[in-house]
Amino acid sequence: MKRYYPINQITTDSDLKRRYKTTRYPEILFGESDTYVYTTKGDRIDVLAQTYYFDSSLWWIISLANPNIISFDSIYLPVGEQIRIPSISQISLIIARYEALNNSN
């Protein structure tokens, strides 16, 4: 089995869409029950997501909520910055928006 799927074997439009699909992320709105924390040395976004959402795969929500502080290409946080952690009550709405943006054909 070959490692890469040859471009000349794309047979349908759905194959092409799946191959070149761009991930879109929703806007993370401010909420009254958002949590604000100051970062310390060694803090990571995935650990904060596990702590506050009980799911480390939701790190991207914290990253999007803090675009001026957190680089989207790193899980490590700058020391001494105040970051916003959206309320866990918003998570289902954020995920629904994410799915709506990325499941359209």
Q: Which comes out higher in pLDDT, residue 44 or 20?
A: 44
Contacts 24+ apart (CB under 8 A), 34-37: 34/65, 34/84, 34/85, 34/86, 34/87, 35/84, 35/85, 35/87, 36/82, 36/83, 36/84, 36/85, 37/82, 37/83, 37/85
Q: Read off the pLDDT of residues 3-40 as tens digits, 9 standing for 90 and up.
A: 555 555 555 666 555 666 788 999 999 999 999 999 99
Q: Judge if pTM exceeds 0.95.
A: no
pLDDT 10s digits, 47-69: 999 999 999 999 999 999 998 88
Run of H or E residues at 85: strand 82-85
